[in-house]
Every structure is written in C-alpha cells, then in structure tokens.
Amino acid sequence: MTKKILSVLLVLAMLFTACACGGNTNNANNAAKEQEELEAYRREFAAFVDEQYKHSIEESYSTLHIYYLDPEAAGLDMSKVDISVGTAPTDAEMQEDRDYYNGLKEKLNGFDREKLTRDQQDEYDCLQWEIDSVLTLCDKKFDYYDQLFAPPNSLDANLVSLMSTWEMRNEREVGEFITYVKSIPAYVDSALEYAKKQQEKQLLMTDFDQVIDGCNDVIEIGMDSFIVGRLTGQIDALEGISADKKEAYKKELTEALETCYLPVFTKIRDAFEGMRGGYNNTIGYAGLPNGKEYFEAMLNYKIGTLGVSAMDIKAEIVNSLNAHIDEIRAIQKAHPSALDAFYSVQRKTGYEDYDSILADVRVKMLKDFPEIKDLQYEIKKADEEEKLEEKSIAAYFVVPPLDGDHKQQMRVNPNNDDMASVDTFMTVSHEGFPGHMYQYAYLAESGKSDYIKTLEVQAMVEGYAVYAQYCALAYADKLTDTYRDLTRINEAYSYLEYAIVDIGINYEGWDEEKTYRYFVNNGYSIDEETGHEIYTLLRLTPAYYEPYGIGYEFIASERDRAQKAVGKSYFSLLEFNRALLNACSTPRSVVSRYVDEYIESVNAVKNSNTNTNTNTSK
C-alpha cells in the first residue's frame, strides 16, 4: 500500500517536473521573442529619428557645412542638398512646413515612449518639444512675422558675418562654396520680395537707417574687404591641389564675390530707400495683430519651455531679481564698503593674454568639471575689419564639425588692450573653458546621437556658458570672494533687467518713454538717446537676452535644488556639472530629469551608508 502511494507520488512529481520544465522553456522562448520584438521596435524608432535628422540637415547646406567635413560618410545624400543660401519663405513653403511637421508629429505619436531606451526617451521628448514649438511658431496666423531685416541681425549683416567666418576645409568645399556664393542674388531677391509683402501686410519691423548705413559700409569697402583675402588665402592653404588649379579657383571665387556678393548690398540699399516711406512697425511685436502670441511662442522656444505664459516667465524673472537684491543686501550687511569699492575700483586678474587664461582655467576647472580625454583647441586672431572692439567683443567661439578632429577654435580681438580686465576673463571663460569650447568638446565625447548633439536649445547653450563663466571666477586668484559675488550678481541682474524690458516692449506694449522711465526709476544713469538705442535694440531683437539670463538662473536654481535635496555634505559640484553636461542642450524638462537622477543616485548612496552604519552599530 505504501509502495503504491510512493509510486504515484513519484509519477506525479515527475509529471510536475516535466510541466515545470516545459513551462520554463516556453517562458524563456516568449521572453526572447518579446526582447527581439522590443529591439526591433527600438531600431524602428532609431531609423525614424535618423531619417528626420538627415532630412533637416539636407534641407540646409549652411548647416550641413558646419557639422560635416564628409557628409556622405555620415550617410547624408548630397543629391538631395541644394547648395545655395536658400530662399525666403513663400506662402506655399510655409504651408509645406506646417504639413511636414504635422506629419512628423503623427509619426512620433505612433511610438510608445515607454518601450524606448533611456537615450531614445530623451530623443522622443526633444522631438516632441521641437515639433510642438515649431508648429506653434509656424501657425498660419504668424505667416510673415519672421523679420529678415531687423538690425543688428539683419540679412545684410548676416551675409557679411557668413563670409567672414566661412571655412573651406578641402577641395570639394571650394567648388561648393563658389556655387553657394553664386546663389546669393536669388536669395536676396526672395528676401526683398518677402519684406515688401510684409510692408503691404503691415507686418514689417526694421530700422531703415541701420540697414542702409550697413549696406553703404560694405559698398564703400568693396573688393578691398578682408573677406576676399581671407577666402582666397584659405584656397592657398589647402594641400593636394596644384598651383594652377588654386589660381583657377581663386579667380572664379573672386569673380563670384564681385558679381554675386557685393552687388546685392546696392540692391538692398536701393530697395530700402524706396520702402522707407511705407509701413514700419516701430513699437515691437506687441504692435502686430497676433504679435504678443508670436513673441510668447518665440520666448518659450528660446528658453526651452512650451506653452508658458509671458507673464509667468516675467514673474520668474522678478523672483530672480529679488533673490539677487537679497544677496546684495547680505553682502552690504557683512561688508558695508564692498559695493562702493566694486564700482569705484577696477580689479585686475593678472592675465596678460588669451592663452594664459585658457591654460590656467583648463587646469583649475578639473576639480569642478569632468575631464575630457582629447581636448584640443586653437586661438586665432579675428581680422581687423570684423571690428570686434566696436562691438565690445573680446572673443567668439566657432562650432566644430561633428566628424572632424574636434579641435575647438576661438577667434579673438587682436586689439584688446585690457587683457587683465575681469570682463575679458569672463568672455574668454564664456567662449572657452569651461564655456562653449569645453561644452562642445564634452558633447563630442558624449556618445549621443547627432540629433541630440546638434539640438541647440538656446537657454542651455548660452545659459550654460554664462553659468560656466561665473564658475570660472573662482579660478581668478587675484579676485576676492566678495568681488566675485558682486561681479556675478551685477551681470546676471543686467541680463534679467533687459529681459524684463524686452517683455515690456514686445508683449506688454511699452513705448519708448516707458522703457526709458523704467531704467531711470530703477537707478540706471542713462540719457534719452541711450534709452532710444536700448528700445530700438530690444524691439528688433526680441527674446535675445532671455536665453542668457533665464538660462543661467534655471541652471543655478537646479543646482540649489540638488544641493538641498542631497544635503551640503553629500553635494558634489563635479557630479552635478557632469549631470548637467550629460543632459546636453535640451529642453528644461529633459535637463531637470538628469538632475533628478543625480539626486536619486546620491540619496541611494546616503541610504546605503545609513543602513550599513545601522547594521554595524547593531
């Protein structure tokens, strides 16, 4: 009896074991199949991102040229690229843009974000933000709201800047650039047609005198411009090309500049002379029918948000201004004479040239910023005709190609006679280390997709560089802590004040008198002429200063949030900056997620240490 029971139990046990084994096999097969399907799904999303990215690059030869030395090796189809400056948008093209982005949005919404990898979720969120931002800005009610002739970034000035900074890096690019220059007349014709339609629709916003004077400056210099010598000199410097061929290229390029580049400035000047008596909006975007909405959308796009009201953004700025006022009061209380000394004594950093600033900061910053394995850079003098001193520019950064040697390049003002000034130090730190040069070098090593590497949310490009230059003040040994704090507060406050006035003009409808009174009532010593210049500048460059000011304040607030969340003793500036840099130049929501992850990782270590200590004490 007992034996039979045991036999039955043994058979049952074998059956159960067999069932269990079969179940594990099925489960394993199912899991493998699900994983395979998931990987295929992710490959599909990667192909979607790659396709839309390449489409956007192939749409603009200028952008393609900046980012790629060898476009075809990067998978770009040069047969789809129109090697030209492009054309100003027409009614049909504006509708095509709406259709394209609506189609892109539909495709993106077809993907389940939760099934994507961590990096792909970043791409999904960035694409979603970018598509929604562009669709808002290209709404039909905003047709012809984009201002092509708004100084100081007017089309004519941008053409000069383009020619001044263009690099021909190989023989293929020489031929392409000559073709590019020959396309300028058609581009200018389309832009002038666009501006005339704007005037007819009462949407034009410009400064006729500035545009005409700018064109006259170029016409007066003519072919004696440094641009001609600079570009032909690039051809001479190329290797692997015969002397005869170089001469032929130089001749063709010189002819293209003489017949296709220089004459357009006469065309623009004459057109604007003829348009001068017609409509021109002189009161900012708030003076246009849908101008307030357009400015609000533009503002969101520049600072990396979406759908935030201009008044909420203004409230955020006011909070930051008040926080800086509290900082100044605290400094005054602790050091009563510090503020007077700050404005009366011009401190010096002790540096004598650009190289010494970069070399010194590069070493000192490593305690606060991650080290980059292959950090190469060079400093080039800007040409005299770039007139950097007139623009109060000490230096600027040139974006390197994605597929190059990643050598970072800074162009500097050769006539800067105050290398030891704090302003020069901050500019070099902003453009160099730990600012843009470092930021782009880190990006090159990040392993991120080209889409993320080329996404430039302005608040996280310029806002980061402002944040970096303030961090760098700690490396200027000859400055006191109080002077560093006041330097940071003074400049950050100025950015925010300009942002307040910008919103006042372009959203609230401030006139010139109200703008002037705002500055006077807030303690600024300016005359009415200066007030007019500021009003004109902000009217014609809406949402320009916010990425600098608001971008910095956002990063600073994220750092404060992280420090409070993990505690001062656990907070690491090095690791916070690593998280910030890993977020790249993405919208606010993505950057905040990286900061959240930094906080979670530190708190996990804290909790682990607490548990270990508790177990040890037991």
Q: Are 577 and 368 in contact (CB under 8 A)?
A: yes
pLDDT at 25: 67
Give me the phi and psi of 281, to 5 degrees please. -75, 115
Determine the Cα–Cα distance for residues 274 and 555; give it in Å rounded to an integer: 47
What's residue 587's pLDDT? Answer: 98
pLDDT of 8 > 60? The answer is no
Q: Which pTM was predicted?
A: 0.92
**pLDDT tens figures, 293-304:** 999 999 999 999
C-alpha to C-alpha distance for 185 and 491, rounded to whole angstroms: 41
- Residue of 16 and 260 predicted with greater confidence: 260
| Overall average pLDDT of the 216-222 stretch | 96
616 band by pLDDT with thresholds 50, 70 and 90: low
CA separation for the pair 527, 513 (Å, rounded): 12
Indicate the DSSP class of residue 398.
Answer: E
* Tens digit of each residue's pLDDT (9 = 90 or more) over 570-592: 999 999 999 999 999 999 999 99
Say yes or no to pLDDT of 416 above 90: no
Tell me the sheet residues that pair with 398: 409
Report the pLDDT value the prediction gives residue 16, as an integer from 0 to 100. Answer: 33
Angle, vertex CA 252, rays to CA 248 and CA 258, nearest 5: 145
429 in Cβ contact with 349 (< 8 Å): no
Q: Mean of the pLDDT values across residues 160-169? A: 93
| Tokens found for residue 72 | 């075809």
Residue 528: strand, helix, or coil = helix
* Domain limits, the chain: 2-58+90-142, 155-281
Model pLDDT for residues 545-557, shown as the tens digit of each residue: 999 999 999 999 9
What is the SS3 assignment for 361?
Answer: helix
Rounded to 5 degrees, φ, ψ at 421 are: -75, 155
Whose tokens are 């500019």? That residue is 427
Q: How far is CA 187 from CA 155, 156, 601, in A?
A: 10, 11, 52
- Which band of pLDDT confidence, cut at 50, 70 and 90, is reported for residue 404? confident
- CA 157 centroid distance within chain: 20
Which of 276, 160, 277, 305 lies closest to 218 in space, CA to CA?
A: 160
Count of CA atoms in the C-beta half-sphere (13 A) of 417? 2
pLDDT at 48: 98
Nearest to 293 by CA among 444, 162, 419, 142: 142
Distances in whole angstroms, Cα of residue 150 to Cα of each of 147, 198, 268, 280, 325? 6, 12, 13, 11, 34
Q: How far from the centroid of its chain's Cα atoms is residue 111's Cα?
A: 27
State residue 5's pLDDT score. 33
pLDDT class of 20 with cuts at 50, 70, 90: very low
Going by C-alpha positions, the residue among 99, 116, 110 that lies closest to residue 39 is 116
* Rounded CA separation 412/193 (Å): 37
Residue 541: phi and psi, rounded to 5, are -125, 60
Quick one: average pLDDT of 168-192? 98
Identify residue 602 by its one-letter amino acid code: V
For residue 590, give the DSSP letter.
H
Alpha helices in 59-143 (DSSP H): 61-67, 91-109, 118-137
**CA-based nearest residue to 124, from 113, 136, 135:** 113
Residue 173's Cα: distance from chain center in Å? Answer: 25
Bridge partners, 380 (sequence order): 411
Percent of residues, the chain, with pLDDT higher than 70: 94
The more confident residue out of 516 and 346 is: 516
Q: Which of 159, 157, 151 lies closest to 206 in space, CA to CA?
A: 151
The percentage of residues in the chain with a pLDDT greater than 90, rounded to a whole number, is 84
Q: Are 513 and 535 in contact (CB under 8 A)?
A: no
Return the H-helix or E-strand segment holding 302: helix 291-303
**φ/ψ (deg, to 5) at 333:** -65, -40
Give, in degrees to the nearest 5, the angle at Cα 190 between 150 and 132: 65
Q: How far is CA 289 from the centre of its chain?
A: 29
pLDDT band, residue 29 (cuts 50/70/90): confident
pLDDT digits (tens, 9 = 90+) for 86-115: 999 999 999 999 999 999 999 999 999 999
Instruction: For residues 30-38, give the mean pLDDT.
Output: 92
pLDDT, tens only, 36-50: 999 999 999 999 999
- Residue 377's φ and ψ, nearest 5 degrees, are -155, 160
Helix and strand numbers (H, E) in the chain are: 25, 3
Measure CA 91 to chain center: 28
In the chain, the amino acid numbered 68 is: Y
Q: What is the pLDDT of residue 177?
A: 98
pLDDT of residue 223: 95
User: Region 68-87: what's the mean pLDDT?
Assistant: 96
The whole-chain average pLDDT of the chain stands at: 92
Give the pairing type, strands 377-381 and 395-398: unpaired
Predicted pLDDT of residue 287: 95
d(CA 76, CA 68): 10
Residue 34 pLDDT exceeds 50 = yes
In tens, the pLDDT along 322-371 reads 999 999 999 999 999 999 999 898 899 999 999 999 999 999 999 999 99
Give the pLDDT band (50/70/90) at residue 384.
confident
